Structure 1
Amino acid sequence: MPTTVTTGRPTDTALGDQERKVLRAVGCGLRDDEIAAALALPEDTVAGHLARILSACGLRDRAAAIVHAFDCGLVVPGSGPRTGAPGPAPRAAATPIPRASGPRVRISLLGPLQAWEGGRPLELGHLRRQAVLAALALSPGRTLSQRELRDGVWGVDPPATNPVPVYVYRLRKALRLEEGPDGPDAADAVIAHDRRGYRLVSGAADVDVARMEELAADAEAADRAGEPAEAVRLCSRALALFRGEPLAGLPGPFAELERLRLTERGIALAQRKSQWQQRLGRHSEAIAGLFALSAAHPLNEPVAAMLMRALYRTGRQADALTVFDRARRRLADDLGVPPSRMLRRTHQMILRGDEADLAPAGIMR
């Protein structure tokens, strides 16, 4: 049966029904072999159809054809053929799967980006597509326009065509739980779309950054309630969510800024935990944590100063001075700068044995 296509698209009038089907499948991201299987055509016939589509519509390449399919309305997010579908035969009716309460998808950004559904890892595609998901996940409650997403992922070197709708379409397919014969149900989508842009649906995904901030807030509340041991426990849970460098490998200015912000947030949490441990008299644990933090961030002078003070207060003055010497050499070798006034002052107080000024310092959140 011929495919019905909405009228009012002058660039589509030169295409036949079969070519429109091929263009729609291309817009859904299918490869030539997948299109051939879905439409029961030889693969070389699909390639011929695509060549005529590019010529008739004045398109440069396959990427331009994907965007063109979206612009024409042949493909909209949440509809279209499914990858690997062998043919148009309908699926047998199945008993609906009961939906679990709460978020259906987990998204982890405190390391390389990963996502799971029911414990099953999801395939999110290449890094720029992942960067689009990261921008949405780190903008809770906000709708991001296509331009915001494009600028955040590509910066000053945007692509000639706009692939954002295609990326979001593929992400919606990757994040779906169930799908009907025409694709994911919009009501069940993790990513919502309206005329202003795209947003992560509230409550549809559990993002580890949000959980980390909730645990950090609970830890501060426990401290205010006079429960430092509970504060340490909650802070440890927040820090356990970090799996390495946040947003590791993701391109674009948005990911770079968020990577720096989240790294600094992790450092501040580790410092806060150390402060509570020392208040509880758990000095060995605090020093071990600070040594690990200093090794991971050797140019961070506040961390070095905190480690020096912790060592001095446990009678390890020589070790505290060694930390200063290592920090001084690293700053000179890597940055060509001397230690800051804060680090030099800590060094001088240790040399003088100034006990009052070496008391545990408050950590800014």
Structure 2
Amino acid sequence: MTVAVVDSGFKEVPGVHSESVLPGVSVMSPPTEQPDKKYPPHDDVDGHGTTMTAAIVGDGSGGGPQGLAPGAKVMPVRTSLGTTMAFAAGFEGATGIRYAADHGAKIINLSWGDHYAFDKLKPAVQYAQSKGALVFAAMGNEGEGNNANNLLAMVPGVIGVGAIDETGEPLQLSSHGPDTDLSAYGSKAPIRCQDNTAWCVKDAGTSYATALASASAALVWSAHPDWTANQVARVLIETAGGPVDGAKRNDWIGYGAARPRMVLLEKAGNPGAPDVDPLAAPAPAKTPTPTPSTGQTAAAPAEAAEAGLPWQWLALGTVVAVGLGLGFMVTVKRRRG
């Protein structure tokens, strides 16, 4: 199962070996003074992409994390995240998403967001979905600030991921809102630090939680290769550990924390229809149209407008692959897009 990590690249480090990582591609834009400059996909000056890769396929050695889906393959798609050219990362990411979809990635991990490139990113995501890919997007790490949400999580069919701590409580830094669909661990975890020269333990945030959600999907999909992206998403939603108050979802953790073990070991979850988005709003029930009185016309109900928060988040969060035993249930959600 191939997971595309569209991020800052990948650098072979203790805990993550190159045999778990495909050649990938770099979509970094060259500087204007060096238009022919090339960047290898297997390099990462920042360490963010390497951290996300470790969360998925790490082997636990050298102080790094044990990846949640060590049998998967990561396709690194390197953008300018973490460099002085980071302002271009969103536009590059749109190209990278299309590349991943065209080269066999079934799951696309977006542990970052960019408001300014959203008009390029949204059609790229939709193209990937049309090719059968399942896309995960971090909600953001602004929960203690302005709570700006990643616009990518608003795209229909994209799984918006929040973060929880060691106790299963929402991580306070996690951005949250109606587009939070799933959650995963994002508290203290091994991440690449010091310009990708060492492992450090820090709050990992929704970046890392998204990598774990992507890894969860890889585990489920590898066991059921005939399922579609919709079916994988549906069983993850149905088997997630929901809010403790009994609600079907809330804006912090969505429908709950991903629990792939429920699908793999407990055989739980109904994949349902292959071509139906489990998060799509149901069609409104048809009701008889009242006949207006003489001299009157029937008024059409106005649909409430939902305003999205602008957000540009070049993620700095990160990693530890722990299969938490927390989970959640399913209903439908009206998507903004």
Query: Structure with the greater relative contact order (CA < 8 A, sep ≥ 6): 1 or 2?
Result: 2
Instruction: Settle same-fold status: TM greater than 0.5.
Output: no
Return the TM-score normalized by structure 1: 0.22
Q: Which has the larger radius of gyration?
A: 1
Higher strand share: 2
Return the TM-score normalized by structure 2: 0.23
Higher helix share: 1
